Structure 1
Amino acid sequence: MDASSGERDHVHTELGLEYDLLVVSAADFEHNDALFNDGTAAFEGGEPTAQAAALEQHAATVVQYVANRFSVTGDGEKCTPTKRGAITIEQRDGVPYAYLPLDFACPPDVKAHELTSKLFPGSEKYVRSTNTIVTYEELDLQHGTASLNSSHPSFSTQQSRLEEYWQFFRLGAEHLYTGIDHILFLLALIAGSRRLRDIIAVATTFTIAHSVTFILAALGFVSAPASVIEPIIALSISVVAAMTLYRLWRGDDSDPRELDWPRLALVFVFGLVHGLGFASALGLDRDFSWSLLSSLLVFNLGIETVQLAIILAVFPVLMFLRRRLPLAGLSATGAIATGVCAMGLLWFVQRVAGV
């Protein structure tokens, strides 16, 4: 979502909302069966012009739903929303998004604005959680980026840069520890690492790779459809885990003084793909700005912090078992690798099939 204001008594916004989710949510909210039927038919037809026309035909319902969930206040007084242009449709990773322009008329001489987003709440049962990324320019002479969710649905133009960074750090940390596919990939890396230098090497390789594509994708320099990225992420989990199982099966006779360069190369390639997955969590489509870049770096720092915490929690335990109780360590490594490999294959099949 973009927010900009040239005047303190008006806030001009453009909200980018997933088309099919907007249709079913607004139709259910207003009990508008015609919107549901028209919007669903346009979605299945896949024609952006028809999709925009369906929303425009029921614009009053759409605006009423959004205004009930998204609000702007000026010095604590509610601003009045008005649709200020045509609804347009754009594709993001093969998914249609509706762009709704709204103008919020606020009281005069406002010193600070506050934006609140409760769009697509879990109570509607269509989604489990929603993150709203707000980019604002010349709003109360401020500019920056904010992350809103059900736990922190609002932000004020009086918030400090530190508060803004904390929001993105938390969002990055939450994305990793709630992203089971990324965690399983990390467990596969841990299980296949024999020594401290191994886990440092693979963790560093993975971090560098996913950081590069994450930043480039989030800033709009590279892109790939989710229908391609998600199956590859699932496959990467199985491949890395299978490499560990193969080494256990043949017996590890490699030189302990040498790094496993083929494995590191594979981790780097898969890390590039995981970075695209991290970027899709934000759903950004903004042009480059230093403010946005700094927020993305903090988001990535949140990811790295949780990644390090998982390594520190799991790797020492495996190392202890391998050195003190070799049989137990071997069994634990094999069990982790087998479970991760099986789960990755299951997800790969499901994602390719579109289940």
Structure 2
Amino acid sequence: MSPRIRLGVVAVLVAVTAFLGSAQPASAHGFSSVVYVDVTGGDDGRLRTKLELEYDLFVVSAADAGHDDALFRAGTAAFEAGDAKAQAAALDAHRKAAVGYVRDRFSVTSQGTGCVPAQSGDFTMGRRQGVPYADLLLDWTCPKRGVDHEVRSGLFPDAETYVTGTRTIVTYDVDGRTGSAALDAAHPVFSTHQAWYERFREFFRLGTEHLLTGTDHLLFLLALIAGSRRLREVVLAATSFTLAHSVTLMLAALGLVDVPSAVVEPVIALSIAVVAGWHLWRLWRHGGRATDLEAAGGGHFGLDRAGWTRLGVVFCFGLVHGLGFAGALGIDSAFSWTLLWSLLVFNVGIEAVQLTLIALVFPVLVLLRHRAPAAGLRATGVISAGVFVMGLVWFLQRILAD
């Protein structure tokens, strides 16, 4: 083996080993939260916002910010008892701290001038992904009506140390415009007069960031790359994966599918192990011929029987990963059609990252297989073995955690 090829093998293995060593052991999505906001035109030209906030997180954050130990005790007891009426009553009894927390971190402005919020009605309770959410209605009086409005959200920031990477998903029907937006710490503000491409750009970015920070989805893609024999095979597999998770993400957003994360997360981990194990099994069975196409192959898209079978397996697992994406975004009830278009752009962002990673990694493996076939097989074998072990470990952790 030439020094250049040997260096390539080492570089691939070191990069993969470092990545696996830094992977989080349990959920790829981390301990985060999603806030939901619906903005509509209210009475007398006012704006109305309906905020949905994860209840237990809201209680802890509001109690801490307002130095209200009584809210923490009452809210925690109601949460542990699973009593929705008691949960709402705890927030109502301590509305100064609860509403004050939101007013300090969520705002609406009209051409740069702040709008004044007032709570409408009492707190109510709902559920998302099986988790209690508190609903808060705020009516905003703005000095200038019928003009551009800006919404800013800094709810549940990383600095509080309770969660990381909180996102606020906003839908709006105001100022004669409808749309949706995804806010986070890096992009906390949006305008109701934003252009359609600005809105879609936010969800495209959200999709790219979600895949890049979702360790288990990255490992699934890495297993696909390592086990693919031809470029078209890995591209078709990645695209099949995207189409599949688009289906279930859309079904979840329409409120037609709701599968508990206790089922989804272990299956996602198992899918990683299965796809990586598939290549290990081919290496064990075929040895140096593991990357060969079947003699009778060459059907549609140039895939043989093994390629089509693998594509079907990837598609089925992609359906489950779509439920994982929906869970990470907290989507389990019907949304507006406007947001559905944004979610499609979210999926385009995921696909763009997948194809970029394939373009970066797969040519290196092809070069190794061409110049030094044995070294190329060893490299993909080591990668697949590492991913296989990680997938099994996560599967056991998620099963035992439930």
Bin of the TM-score, shorter chain as denominator length:
over 0.9
1:134 corresponds to 2:178: no
Q: Deviations over 1:283-306 (max 9, x none)?
A: 246645442222111111111100
Q: Which residue of 1 aligns with 2:317?
A: 270
2:258 maps to 1:255: no
SS at match of 1:127: coil
Question: For residue 231 of structure 1, what is the aligned residue in structure 2?
Answer: 266
Q: Which residue of 1 aligns with 2:357?
A: 310
Residues 1-355 of structure 1: matches in 2 within 5 Å? 1-6=37-42, 9-109=45-145, 111-137=147-173, 139-251=174-286, 252=290, 255=294, 257=297, 258-260=304-306, 261-284=308-331, 287-354=334-401
Q: Secondary structure at the match of 1:147?
A: strand
Where structure 1 has 5 or more consecutive residues not aligned to the other structure, the ranges are none
Instruction: Indicate conservation of the 8 Å contact 2:129/2:332, yes or no.
Output: no
SS of 2:329's equivalent?
Answer: coil
**What per-residue deviation string (whole Å, max 9, x for no partner) do you get for residues 236-279 of structure 1?**
11111111111111223761621423322221111000011112
* 1:158-212 Cα distance to aligned partner (Å, 9 max, x none): 2111111111111111111111110000111111111123213322321221111
Report the identity percentage: 58
Letter in 2 for 1:301: V
Q: SS state of the match for residue 159, structure 1? A: coil
Aligned-residue offset at 1:232: 1.0
Q: 2:169 touches 2:183 (CA, 8 Å); kept in 1?
A: yes
Partner of 2:26: none
State the distance in 2 between where 1:134 and 1:288 align: 11
**Structure 1 CA distance for aligned equivalents of residues 59 and 69 of structure 2:** 10
Using the alignment, how far apart are the partners of 2:175 and 2:360 within structure 1?
A: 45
Which of 23-32 and 199-208 deviates more?
199-208
Structure 1 residues 303, 8: CA separation in 2 closer, same or farther (over 3 Å shift)?
farther
3-state DSSP of counterpart to 1:281: helix
Residue identity matched to 1:43: F
1:3 and 1:136 in contact (8 A); partners too: yes
Which string of whole-angstrom CA distances, capped at 9 and with x for unpartnered residues, describes residues 297-329 of structure 1? 111111110011111111111111111111211
Structure 2: state its 5+ residue gaps.
Answer: 1-36, 298-303
Instruction: Specify which structure has the bigger relative contact order, considering alpha-carbon pairs within 8 angstroms and separated by 6 or more residues.
Output: 2
TM-score by length of 2: 0.84
- CA distances 1:17-45 after superposition (whole Å, capped 9, x unpaired): 11111011111101111111111111111
Q: Which runs of 4+ in 1 moved over 6 A?
A: none
Secondary structure of 1:86's match?
A: coil
Partner of 2:13 in structure 1?
none
Residue 8 of structure 1 and its aligned partner are, at CA, apart by 7.1
Letter in 1 for 2:270: L
Structure 2 CA distance, aligned partners of 1:286 and 1:341?
A: 34
8 Å contact kept, 1:133–1:284: no
Give the Cα–Cα distance (whole angstroms) in 1 for the partners of residues 279 and 332 of structure 2.
38
Corresponding residue SS for 1:115:
strand
Q: Does the residue aligned with 2:224 lie in a helix, a strand or coil? A: helix
Query: Contact 1:218 / 1:284 at 8 angstroms: preserved in 2?
Result: yes
Shift of 1:53: 1.7
Compared CA separation, residues 104 and 285, structure 1 to 2 (3 A): farther
Q: Which amino acid aligns with 2:153?
A: S
Shift of 1:113: 1.1
The structural deviation recorded for 1:282 is 2.5
Q: Could you say what secondary structure the match of 2:181 adopts?
A: strand
Give the distance between the partners of 1:259 and 1:307, measured in 2 at CA.
24
Q: Contact 1:89–1:98 at 8 Å: present in 2 too?
A: yes
Contact 2:253–2:334 (8 Å) recurs in 1 = no
| In 2, Cα distance between equivalents of 1:337 and 1:8 | 62
Contact 1:8 1:108 in 2 (8 A): no
8 A contact 2:273–2:391 mirrored in 1: yes
Give 3-state SS (helix, strand or coil) of 2:40's partner: strand
For 1:39-93, what per-residue CA distance to the aligned partner results, in whole angstroms no more than 9, with x for missing partners?
1111111222222222222111110001101001112111111110221222212
Superposed CA deviations along residues 203-228 of structure 1, whole A, max 9, x for unmatched, are 23212211111122123221111121
Q: What is the DSSP-based 3-state SS (H/G/I as helix, E as strand, rest coil) of the residue aligned with 1:155?
A: strand
Query: Could you say what secondary structure the match of 2:190 adopts?
Result: strand
55-64 vs 215-224, which deviates more? 215-224
